[in-house]
Structure 1
């Protein structure tokens, strides 16, 4: 099996390499996150059916039960993050990722067997558990198989997969019967498990296990180069040096004993939490009301069903995610993240203004909130959502990568749960306009944090990134300028 997979042609043939296998692997790796996207969006096209008279359940599902279906995933996902984070370091990235698809498949099977509310809630708990693990392991795996020149693009596949899953389930739910959709969604984790069994472990983890020859074959296959090519040898040497100084294990104590790594951890955490608190998740939840309010404007004509609205927003997300894939390795992490933060911030502010003026009876065209909503979702998908994953994996060594991903994702997923639970009480307390202005302030404040506190990670070594965090590069630059001035 291994000889077939890693065969790239004659070793005497001149090779220039290719990135095709790396991109293909990254797509396959992210299928569990794709499944998570389908699970997140599954309620939207099926809510009316579950709560109606023709429900597949034994009785119409209540609003409270639907609420639990939506939130239960965020309760179990943070728990899974710790379990899979430890498993990825102890048993390997591949084995941990295989185990992500199992509970996801179990969840869809339970839905096929029974549509009882308790069964549906339990099924989504299984899916949330597997998805929580995927959000830890997928970024690690993708980072460790990608060469520096494309790791930004492949890193954005995590969020792109989620948005693609959303769009798929919205379309399927709008056109296909209830059980047919479930069979299709069950096939995704099953296909992932079967295909991934034939694919290799990451080179970093193979080196850690002392499997140097297998590592050579895997790198040669991923780069489309003969296994004895000089570029393969150079990468093997780099990985060996990295492994001689560290062994991956889940160890918060080790992380927090290194002052520079702690600085990097806080940067990764704050950038990821800004992604959660930018308000785009809440906007997606509130989209139906915005469209409904816009339709009341006699000067515009818009008539979309709630599911058609969801399809439109998911399509906007897909376009934004695709743009992120194209730009992240060209524009850099910081510029793209800063620009999308500004765009999201101003669109949030515009939404707040529209709600405020509507509340005091001042006319504002109904297309304004729709445009602001789409722009905000676009900015979120093209930068705010995918780039924190890329930055998080690029700021840490192989030894600490799993620990950081585990802690950051656990906190982020718990934040999602809290935000969705507190959004309604918050809007009742301070109003929708103040809520969106608060989201806007967070987005715009993030720009200043990015400029002054976050190092650029594109095509840079850990030494350079950590030198930025410690201020060494700035001091060196000033020192060089002083020397040049004195010389003149």
Structure 2
């Protein structure tokens, strides 16, 4: 079957290969994250309808119902992360990813069949379960099919897909009827399932299963090279050596038994948690509501409706994601992440200032919050969101990659639940201005952590990355140890 679907023309004159198949496959693989993006943004254009007089539900939804709808995805997603993390190592990346699309499709189907608040909350729980699986398997899949020169770019496709999903649902929600949008969103996981059936398993997992010949065929198709090309045989040999020394399995005990791996884990975890606590996910879910709050005063608001402003926000976000795809393999992980953290931090600070001045009756133009949010979301999409996924997959070998992705994504998604559940009450308690200032402080603090604690991973081997981690550790013990480390 692989011969038929992934046949490579060995008589071609072009021996240099191509990255097109890797890029196209990475885009298809990330479709569950696209579905997650549509689900995350779905509340924003539909909140006023669901809570209004003409709600598609039997009765208008309450603020508490909407709060549970926004956060329930992040209760079930961490559970799914463990389930899919184990499944990806045991049954393969492809099979685990196929199973991720099933609950997502069922969730959208439930919304079409019944719009009772409990049904809507349950549907979003199903979507959250499938999305959690996608978030742990997609980065692994993309990393393992991509060659080193483009793994940074393809790694950003995870967040690019999420931002595309946000934009799609904002536009569809503003232009089309409620049920029509649901039918379109249902089609995304179904299309993904059908296409993925025809795509291969990752070369790393095929080697684990002892399918060396099939691995060569898949690598040849991915690299657009003849199967007997020297590059293909060298890569197969490298994968065999990697498998001999490190068979993948979900084993936190193995991860925490090595001091350097533990340090790498904490670096990856903190970088990922900063992504959650920068506040952008709360801004996107409650975008229309925030713009409505910002536009209460007609003297300071602008002509665009909250939904139109949310579409503008999503468009800026996808431009930022596209920029990340172009820059990540040129600028490096650390510089891009540091710059975007600074920009996001100052943008959140400005947004807090605007809300504070509004609360004390000081005039400030209505374009200020929109500009601040757009700049913040742009910075988030071009660095803060995609790069932690890239760093996470580059800091660990094949044996530990699944374990680390599972643990970090479970913690991150659990953090998303807490943040979304507490966002509205927090604003009532301390005000929008204090909430955004808190996000600002986290973003700016992240810059110092990046400078002093996070190693660069661009085009570097694990040995070099871990040497940096150990070197920082050893400098504290004396100069002689540093010299020994570099010998």
How do residues 152-171 of structure 1 correspond to structure 2 at under 5 angstroms? 152-171=152-171
Q: Distance between the aligned counterparts of 2:281 and 2:159, measured in 1?
A: 13
Q: Distance between the aligned counterparts of 1:457 and 1:296, measured in 2?
A: 46
Query: 1:76 and 2:76 equivalent?
Result: yes
Number of positions where the alignment pairs a residue of Structure 1 with one of Structure 2 = 481
Could you tell me how far 1:5 is from its partner in structure 2? 2.0
Q: How large is the Cα RMSD of the aligned pairs?
A: 2.1
SS of residue in 1 equivalent to 2:228: coil
How do residues 386-401 of structure 1 correspond to structure 2 at under 5 angstroms? 386-401=386-401
- Counterpart for residue 220 of structure 2: 220
Q: Contact 2:275 / 2:385 at 8 angstroms: preserved in 1?
A: yes
Cα distance change of structure 1 residues 351 and 156 upon mapping to structure 2, 3 Å threshold: same
Q: Distance between the aligned counterparts of 2:224 and 2:350, measured in 1?
A: 49
Cα distance change of structure 1 residues 353 and 127 upon mapping to structure 2, 3 Å threshold: same
Q: Distance between the aligned counterparts of 1:272 and 1:97, measured in 2?
A: 22
Q: Distance between the aligned counterparts of 2:337 and 2:86, measured in 1?
A: 30
Q: Contact 1:5 / 1:221 at 8 angstroms: preserved in 2?
A: no
- Counterpart for residue 193 of structure 2: 193
Could you tell me how far 1:265 is from its partner in structure 2? 0.2
Cα distance change of structure 1 residues 298 and 198 upon mapping to structure 2, 3 Å threshold: closer
SS of residue in 1 equivalent to 2:10: coil
Q: Distance between the aligned counterparts of 1:149 and 1:8, measured in 2?
A: 22
How do residues 455-474 of structure 1 correspond to structure 2 at under 5 angstroms? 455-471=455-471
Q: Distance between the aligned counterparts of 1:27 and 1:106, measured in 2?
A: 22
- Counterpart for residue 291 of structure 1: 291
- Counterpart for residue 37 of structure 1: 37
Could you tell me how far 1:228 is from its partner in structure 2? 1.1
Could you tell me how far 1:472 is from its partner in structure 2? 7.3
Please give the per-residue CA displacement for 1:169-200, whole angstroms capped at 9, x wherever unaligned: 11112222222211111111111111101110
Gaps of 5+ in 1: 484-488
Cα distance change of structure 1 residues 149 and 447 upon mapping to structure 2, 3 Å threshold: same
- Counterpart for residue 486 of structure 1: none
SS of residue in 1 equivalent to 2:357: helix
Q: Distance between the aligned counterparts of 2:74 and 2:334, measured in 1?
A: 29
- Counterpart for residue 90 of structure 2: 90
Q: Distance between the aligned counterparts of 1:197 and 1:247, measured in 2?
A: 25
Q: Distance between the aligned counterparts of 1:168 and 1:281, measured in 2?
A: 16
TM-score by length of 2: 0.94
Q: Distance between the aligned counterparts of 2:361 and 2:25, measured in 1?
A: 54
- Counterpart for residue 141 of structure 2: 141
Could you tell me how far 1:329 is from its partner in structure 2? 0.6
Cα distance change of structure 1 residues 472 and 233 upon mapping to structure 2, 3 Å threshold: farther
Q: Distance between the aligned counterparts of 2:451 and 2:130, measured in 1?
A: 36
Q: Distance between the aligned counterparts of 2:196 and 2:437, measured in 1?
A: 45
- Counterpart for residue 281 of structure 1: 281
How do residues 69-468 of structure 1 correspond to structure 2 at under 5 angstroms? 69-285=69-285, 287-288=287-288, 290-292=290-292, 294-295=294-295, 302-468=302-468
Q: Contact 2:283 / 2:290 at 8 angstroms: preserved in 1?
A: no
Cα distance change of structure 1 residues 14 and 432 upon mapping to structure 2, 3 Å threshold: closer
Q: Contact 1:43 / 1:70 at 8 angstroms: preserved in 2?
A: yes
Please give the per-residue CA displacement for 1:257-307, whole angstroms capped at 9, x wherever unaligned: 011000000000000000011121233355445534554666666122222
Q: Contact 2:17 / 2:225 at 8 angstroms: preserved in 1?
A: yes
Could you tell me how far 1:310 is from its partner in structure 2? 1.5
Q: Distance between the aligned counterparts of 2:288 and 2:225, measured in 1?
A: 51
SS of residue in 1 equivalent to 2:227: coil
Cα distance change of structure 1 residues 283 and 116 upon mapping to structure 2, 3 Å threshold: closer
Cα distance change of structure 1 residues 447 and 124 upon mapping to structure 2, 3 Å threshold: same
Gaps of 5+ in 2: none
Cα distance change of structure 1 residues 131 and 296 upon mapping to structure 2, 3 Å threshold: closer
Q: Distance between the aligned counterparts of 1:46 and 1:290, measured in 2?
A: 14
SS of residue in 1 equivalent to 2:459: coil
Q: Contact 1:294 / 1:367 at 8 angstroms: preserved in 2?
A: no
357-366 or 88-97: which moved more? 357-366
103-112 or 171-180: which moved more? 171-180
Q: Contact 1:297 / 1:365 at 8 angstroms: preserved in 2?
A: no
Could you tell me how far 1:11 is from its partner in structure 2? 4.3
TM-score by length of 1: 0.94
How do residues 15-30 of structure 1 correspond to structure 2 at under 5 angstroms? 15-30=15-30
